[in-house]
Chains A and B, each alone.
Chain A
Amino acid sequence: MKRAGALAIACAAVGALAGCGSAGPAASPGPGQATAAATSLATSLETAGDSWAVLPMAANPAFWEVFVRAAASPDWRLVTPQGVADNGGLVAAGTAGALVVAVRPNQELTFSPLATSTDGGAQWKTGLIDARIAATPGALAASGSRLLALLGDGTILASSDSGSSWRTLAGPGALAGSPAGRACGLRAVTDVSFGINEGEVLAAGGCGAAGTGVFAYSAGGWQRVSLPVSGQLVRMMPGVVLVASGTRLYAARDTPSGWQASAALAVAGGGVRAAGSYGSGGAWVLLPGRQAAAIGGPGQQWRSLPLVPPGTAVLAGGSDGAMDALAVSGNTMTVWRLAGAANVWAKFQSIGVPVQYGSSS
């Protein structure tokens, strides 16, 4: 046998790189792929004027944090729900005045606890999805007390009592096996959402050569929604679907008069690192090379933003029409603000996050 000590040192080095014995790596896939499955779980959304951001603060294991900027305040606060390890990632959904986050299973935990706040993150009410929620940012949707959840095996669940109980809308493969899914060649559902029409349930996924498939659920069946653009699904959010076609990115907005497509945004490399909702029916995207863009509600077009600060994990709506970039470095989250007419990000706020390194490994 070779000398053990030397080999053990080598193994320890390899082990450290591989993350031996620690909590599992963050669920967010790498950048560079313009598909929903490849888009980071890091996101932001708005609920009745409050801006929420969900992002990881550390790598391997990642500690996911929830920040909020109340409608009446320019400042962000750390409001991560307590009592559960979120190293597997958080999936967030918003509805009027409330944020719901589902904790992705991690290590020995195989189901998904829920936390809902209706008071800007001061208090959280617990709930449960007794299964693994999917690792996509569009796996959870909320509208009033109604919730939709997409599971890792493709099951779509619905709740009408804020997650106290769930019923199955579609089992694994049911949507792909439906006439609409077969006609589209649906490979996997990656996003669920509520439509702008009362009670409308939407599911979206990639359909291979046929591009993006968005499906509406009604009367126990699924019908494909006709989008005005074709391409691969990047992400579906309330009222907006991002679709990439080659190096062009489109936003299809759901309006009372039907779906409307934006003009194309040129996306060098074609990758969308992260995306989130912005304003009313708008969206933002983070692109490779610190590039970013945002689009307002229906009728508005993409606006390229100045290069975002290093470490930017998400963009979010700032106060007074500004755009905020939330950047992470170690255990510090820094808010950079882009005022309405400005073309430079200005450092606005820093928040030290008490990351409990080693607590979940």
Chain B
Amino acid sequence: MPGMNSGLNPANPIIVAAFRSALFHQWAIVGIIFLLLLLCWGATRGWVTARTQATAVFAAAWHEPLARRLLRVGFGALWLFDGILQAQPQMAAGLPSQVVAPAAESSPAWVQHLVNWGGSAWSYHPVQAGASAVWIQVGIGMWLIFGVRGWPSRLAGLAGAVWGLIVWVFGEAFGGIFGAGLTVLFGAPGAAAFYVVAGLLIALPERAWQTARPGRLLLGGAGVFLAGMALLQAWPGRGFWQGTADGKPSALADMIQTMAGTQQPHALSVLVSGFGNFTAAHGFAVNLFAVIALAALGAGLAAGALRGDTRLALIAVVAATVFCLADWVLVEDLGFLGGLGTDPNSMIPLILLLIAGYLGLTPAPQSALATAPAAAAPEHATRVPSRVAAARDWIAALSGRSVAALGAVGVIVVGAAPMAFASANRNADPIIAQALAGSSGPMNTPAPGFTLTSQAGRQISLASLRGKVVLLTFLDPVCTTDCPIIAQEMRAADTLLGAKASQVDLVAVVANPTYLSTAFTAAFTRQEGLDQVPNWLYLTGSLSQLQAVWQHYGIQVQNLPAGAMSAHNDIAYVISATGVIRQEMSDDPGPGTPSTKSSFASLLADAARQAIGAGQ
């Protein structure tokens, strides 16, 4: 998946610092939003009318069904927790390569293509994307927790479902359901799928919770799901029946032992490792137990739901909870410790759904107040307030929780807006290039002159390019890696400059002591499609001429033995229209991924624009 991997080290200090800075600034904005909301709310509390009092009484009198409350608060807390996990310093640069790409590794090509598309958007704007994920998830969590009833609460559920779907598709590659080795024990069909289900249930109309239908659907669905997972777990040839294969741990034992090897408390590591060894030694027995347990739990849940047998359902839910907790600890290893964990994996959300399903089987009766809102607000029927008064009443009627829910929506907007703006830019942020090559300092040095031969055989002096900004770099025409990438970045920078490209010359000087004839500069120019770029010059000369230029510009060029390419440092200079070096920057393209290429192009174009803008 070439698009999503920026090639950056997730711990790159420049990206980490920028991510922290973005979070800090957005945190400040979030604080201001809450402060303003509190001020507005406090200021309007004194204007409370009889009508708003009645509305408040009505709101307080509504008793939220326990099942819905569990889903709302439970998944709200999970979203909050996930948001906090997203704030890990390495998440901005590391999520696409270390979380998303591995998740999609075993999926078919179309899934990888889709995931790659989403991951590319992240890798082009890692700081904004990382920060937006934090605030969107924190905002959804708060919205769910504080949005108790009415359409705002249902909307919170819907927001959770939509974001969960996005995470499930692009972050979890559909929970791996199209990949090999699918098993509920590892987390299939993906934790986010359970978040989606919970969100949709919360988004149901409140009257839907007055019946046992949501509970029965939930438990019945969970029963069928677990029974299906039992079948999949038992399917021969999937590697789950052996503890070891060819002397190596099989799929289940290997997964557990890998999890045990990650950074975590020692006691937990010992526990998980021990279970991994036990699985390797008794793979058949462990899988047999898992298959029987999953099948029995599935049957129990489905039967309890179908028959409306709350006792059977309770037994099945308690047993499933124990099973899920055991799997969460012994197989999923709590899901979020070590590495870049983004959530506590699938078992906790599954447990929440199961318990909510059981609670939903016995819905609480509704109070009379809750079913007669019109009678509770007689003022509304006799007098239509002005718009200002209506807004004032609306704010005054808000409870503290409602204000917090409103603030949560603001948090989501604070997170999503910068990413939305960044996504409108199809070019990667220059910070990726800066993170790879390091920042460059301004210079004010006359550019050493030279006269060399262009790829077309013309004599070109640096002085003859006065009047234009020169982006100067040094390229090996038979290089197999960096130099063609740098040339592509320069070409992309030229495109980004648009009309201003006519004020810029892209100049490369040969950096190879052996392959230095114009035949090679011409071939390289054609290879990179630069023969269509009128302001591209690839200059060469005799070895002595080139050595003089290399020396003046601090370029070290050396042939390496035994079939290796010629070595040289990757440096670009920005030379003003008056022949003064304004900037020196490393243009080592690093891994040459689409995002780093695009980022370097943005960086070069920005540098050229600055030099054009600075004039002298």
User: Could you tell me which A residues sit within 8 Å of B by CB distance?
Assistant: 1-11, 14, 21, 23, 57, 63-65, 78, 80-88, 103, 106-111, 113, 124, 126, 128, 130, 353-356, 359-361
Contacts and interface: CB of A to CB of B under 8 A. Distances in A.
B262 A6 contact: yes
A7 B102 contact: yes
Interface in B307-339: 332-333, 335-339
Contact of B338 (A6, A21, A128): A6
Contact of B480 (A78, A87, A126, A130): A87
B480 A107 contact: yes
A58 B258 CA distance: 31
Interface in B13-27: none
A78 to B, nearest CB: 7
Nearest to B526: A130
Nearest to B591: A21
B562 interface: yes
Interface in B166-196: 167, 171-172, 186-187, 190-192
B351 to A, nearest CB: 17
A11 B561 contact: no
B159 to A, nearest CB: 19
A83 B559 contact: yes
Instruction: Identify the interface centre among B186, B513, B562: most chain A CB within 10 Å of its CB.
Output: B562
B93 to A, nearest CB: 13
A5 B339 contact: yes
A83 B258 contact: no
A84 to B, nearest CB: 4
Contacts of A11: 101-102, 105
B186 A353 contact: no
B156 interface: no
Nearest to A130: B523
A3 B262 contact: yes
Given A126-B515, A359-B564, A6 B339 contact: yes
B512 interface: yes
Chain A, interface SS category? loop
A356 B562 contact: yes
Contacts of A111: 523, 527
Interface string B370-383: 00000000000000
Contacts of A84: 478, 514-515, 565-566
A360 B562 CA distance: 11
Interface of B: 94-95, 97-99, 101-103, 105, 167, 171-172, 186-187, 190-192, 255, 258-259, 261-263, 332-333, 335-343, 345, 478-481, 483-485, 512-515, 517, 519-520, 523, 526-527, 559-567, 591
B262 A5 contact: yes
Nearest to B173: A1
A1 B172 contact: yes
Chain B, interface SS category? loop
11 contacts: A1-B103, A3-B337, A4-B340, A5-B263, A10-B105, A64-B563, A82-B561, A84-B514, A128-B519, A355-B563, A356-B561
A266 B105 CA distance: 46
Contacts of A57: 562-563
A9 B559 contact: no
B249 to A, nearest CB: 12
Contacts of A130: 519, 523, 526
A313 to B, nearest CB: 14
A4 B339 contact: yes
A65 B564 CA distance: 10
A109 B513 contact: no
A113 B520 contact: yes
Contacts of A14: 105
Contacts of B102: 4, 7-8, 10-11
Nearest to A7: B102
A83 B560 CA distance: 7
Instruction: Identify the interface centre among A4, A5, A65: most chain B CB within 10 Å of its CB.
Output: A4
A11 B336 CA distance: 18
Given A82-B559, A359-B564, A3 B341 contact: yes
B262 A78 contact: no
Contacts of B187: 2
Instruction: Identify the interface centre among A63, A65, A108, A355: most chain B CB within 10 Å of its CB.
Output: A108
A83 B190 contact: no
Contacts of B479: 85, 108-109
Instruction: Identify the interface centre among A1, A85, A111: most chain B CB within 10 Å of its CB.
Output: A1
Contacts of A9: 258, 261-262
A273 to B, nearest CB: 21
